[in-house]
Each structure stands twice: as structure tokens, then as C-alpha cells.
Amino acid sequence: MARVLSCIQPTGEVHLGNYLGALRNWVSGQHNNDVFHGIVDLHALTVTDTPGVLGQQTLQLAAILFAVGLDPQIATVFVQSHIPEHSQLGWIMECTVSFGELSRMTQFKDKSAKREADFVSAGLFTYPALQAADILLYDAAEVPVGDDQRQHIEITRDIALRFNHRFGDTFVVPKAVTPPTGARVMDLQEPTNKMSKSGDGEAGIIYLLDDPAAIVKKFKRAVTDSDNEVEFDRERKPGVSNLLEILAAVTNESPTSLATTYTQYGKLKQDTGEAVAEMLRPIQARYHELMSDPAELSNLLALGKERASKVAQATLARRTTRLVSTQASSS
């Protein structure tokens, strides 16, 4: 089985788009590959500076990942800061990548421009070096990413190839792969925009921990159009199509066939809201169960930490051996 690495930052609440678009595929994929899922809290330091918040959000996200179905006996779920080798290898990566390469990263340009009036940390600039360490530390052969992250995988490959050329074969050179297609979930109030933590309003976002009544209410208020014709057409009817796609993802039917069963928007909104609320009910129950039992949650994370540490320590030891042997032979 191929080793596959996927990571997620503990910033903001997990929403329906995260679940139907990615996390549900993580759950099904754990049976097909050797999967490592990291909660990258060190990366979150570039955007979070309130004391105590990051630690709590990390635990909440861990509980969500287990609640949606990641099995700690199968999938390696770990917290980045629990594995000191991330920071250790991160420094080596910083010494292997050039200033010019980091300067060309589009995400740094975009994010720093948005924070022009605020504090822009050096960590945001060197972010790709630590991300390269995250990937290379676990000998990941595949990293599922969207188009916005492909540049980060390319720089990771460049760093790995450069290190291997200088010091001998040390790191597995990963490849970016297109993740399995998940449901396309749009904002309920702005159906031409993806559902996002950074959206303009709460009314268009369904959070995994929303109360069932609140979920149904948000769907009832979803933006559609004025002609009241239920048809799956993303271009002409983005709001209706979004509802159909969400309902299809929950019921494992096609949006086109579902469209033929509805003649009114109200009924479609009601059914979609109720279906989503019902789908999330066991996830919410398991989440609250874990959050009320910190010892159990810690035990589950300890399983992942043990497996991740074993791989990380072996990789770092291999890197150290290469560096020392190369230096000794050149002296």
C-alpha cells in the first residue's frame, strides 16, 4: 500500500464542505492505503496568537476526526507539535531551500498582502520548509492536494531532490495526486462561492457541530431563485443545484435524478436540511462523548503519536547518518 499524507490546520470550525469534500474521503481511504493524518498546529501559529485557543482547537479537531470515522487502529492520526522531529527537520529544510524559492511562493504573497496592516511573521515566509519536513518525515509517496497547494508539493520535491543529490538518497520524493472527488458544497447564501470558514456570514455555512434545528433553519433560508423550477444546472440555477448536490452526497443518489422528484423549493430545502442533520447526528454524539472524556481522547492520540514517532525518528536518524558520513568523507 502507498503511504499517503494529508494534514489539516486546527483553525476555525469544521464545516459541511470540509466533511463532504475531504474528510469523508479520508475515512474511506484509510482502508486502501497506509494513511497518516496530521493536525498541524505549528503551522497554525502563523495565524493564531491568542493564548489557550490553539490547544483547545487542536483537541476539538482531533475529536472531530475520530468522530467522522478515522480509526486510530488503522489510520495514523497525530498532532504535529507532539512529534519534535518536525521542528528538527524543518530547520534542515530551511537550510536546503533558497530565499528566492520561498520568495516566489504565491500563498505567501497572497496572505502577507491581506495582512499588510497586521503582523506578518517570518514563519509565514518559511512555512513551505516546515511543510516539506511534514511530508518528507513520513516517507510519504503521495500527497493529495488541490491546485492551490501544488506549488508547495513541487518545492518539497525540489528540496528532497537537492538534499538527496548532496548527501545521497535519504528522502522519498513525493508526488502530488488529485484527491478523490468529493461533493462540491457551496455557501447557502452565496451559492456561487465555496462554503468556507472565511465566508462573509454564518447563515451560509453548516458547521458539523451545529444544532439540528439550526441546520434545518439554515437550509430553509438557503438562496435559490424566483422561478421555482427544480432543475440541476450549476450555471443557471446555482442555489438549487447546490441543494441537490448536497442531498445527493448524503443519500448516495445523483443530483439529476433527485431533481425529478421535486416540484417545490421548500420541500427540497426541508428534506436536504433534515438529511444533513440526521447524517451529522452520530458524528456529533461521538464528538461530545470524546470531548467529555479527555483521557480517552488522549489515548487515541497517543496511538498515532507512537506510530508517527517511530517513522519520524527513523527518518531523522537516516538524515543524520547521511550528513555525518558525508562530512566525514570530505574531511
pLDDT value at position 178?
83
Candidates 34, 53, 35, 43; CA nearest to 8 is 43
At 117 the pLDDT is 55
* Per-residue confidence (pLDDT) for residue 115, from 0 to 100: 61
> Going edge to edge, which strands form the sheet with 142-144?
76-79, 34-39, 3-8, 142-144, 175-177
User: Looking at per-residue confidence, does 250 or 321 come out higher?
Assistant: 250
Residue 178 makes CB contacts below 8 A (sequence gap 6+) with 144
Asked whether the predicted pLDDT for residue 327 surpasses 80, the reply is no
pLDDT at 96 exceeding the cut of 80? yes
Residue 176 has pLDDT above 60, yes or no: yes
Q: For the whole prediction, is pTM greater than 0.85?
A: yes
Q: Are 287 and 64 in contact (CB under 8 A)?
A: yes
Q: Which of 65, 66, 76, 68 is nearest to 30 (CA)?
A: 76
Cα dihedral 207, 211, 215, 217 in deg (nearest 10): -140
Mapped to the 3 state alphabet, what secondary structure does 159-215 carry? HHHHHHHHHCCCCCCCEEECCCCCCCCECCCCCCCECCCCCCCHHHCCECCCCHHHH
Per-residue b/e over 155-188, b at no fewer than 16 CB within 10 Å? bbbbbbeebeeebeebbbbbebeebeebbbbbbb
Q: What are phi and psi of 295, to 5 degrees?
A: -65, -40
Handedness of CA 94, 95, 97, 103 (dihedral sign): positive
Of the chain, the end-to-end C-alpha distance in Å amounts to: 41
Q: What is the pLDDT of residue 50?
A: 72
Q: With a cut of 80, say whether residue 197 has pLDDT above it.
A: no
- On whether the 3-182+294-330 domain is CATH 3.40.50.620, my answer is yes
Q: What is the pLDDT of residue 204?
A: 96
pLDDT at residue 218 tops 80: yes
Mean pLDDT over 219-244 rounds to 95
Say whether pLDDT at 275 is over 90.
Answer: yes
Convert the pLDDT of each residue in 100-124 to its tens digit.
999 999 877 777 766 655 778 888 8
Q: Which of 171, 183, 180 is nearest to 141 (CA)?
A: 171
**Average pLDDT rounded to a whole number, residues 320-329:** 64
**φ, ψ for residue 169, nearest 5 deg:** -60, 115
CATH 3.40.50.620: which residues of the chain?
A: 3-182+294-330
Quick one: fold of 202-289? Tyrosyl-Transfer RNA Synthetase (1.10.240)
Predicted local distance difference test score (pLDDT) of residue 106? 83
Quote the CA–CA distance of 113 and 289 in Å, as a whole number. Answer: 41
Per-residue confidence band for 236, with pLDDT thresholds at 50, 70 and 90: very high
The band of 301, judged by pLDDT with boundaries at 50, 70 and 90, is: very high
pLDDT at 155 over 60: yes
For residue 184, which phi and psi values (nearest 5 degrees)? -90, 110
- For CATH 1.10.240.10, the residue range(s) in the chain are 202-289
pLDDT above 70: residue 200:
no
Question: Whats the size of the chain, residue-wise?
Answer: 331
Residue 258, Cβ density class (10 Å: 0-12 exposed, 13-18 middle, ≥19 buried): buried
Q: Region 209-225: what's the mean pLDDT?
A: 97
* 250-256: average pLDDT: 94
Mean pLDDT, residues 208-217: 97
Q: CB under 8 Å to 29, separation ≥6 — which residues?
A: 4, 35, 180
Is the pLDDT confidence value at 181 over 80?
Answer: no
The answer to whether residue 166 scores a pLDDT higher than 80 is: yes
Residue 108 confidence (pLDDT)? 78
| Mean pLDDT computed over every residue of the chain | 91
Rounded distance between C-alpha atoms, residue 282 and residue 181, angstroms? 24
The pLDDT of 192-217, averaged and rounded, is 91
Considering only residues 324 and 192, tell me which one the structure prediction assigns the higher pLDDT.
192
pLDDT over 70 at 329, yes or no = no
**Average pLDDT for 17-22:** 93
Model confidence at 331: pLDDT above 60? no
Catalytic residue numbers read 111, 194, 197
Rg of the chain over Cα atoms, rounded to whole angstroms, equals 22
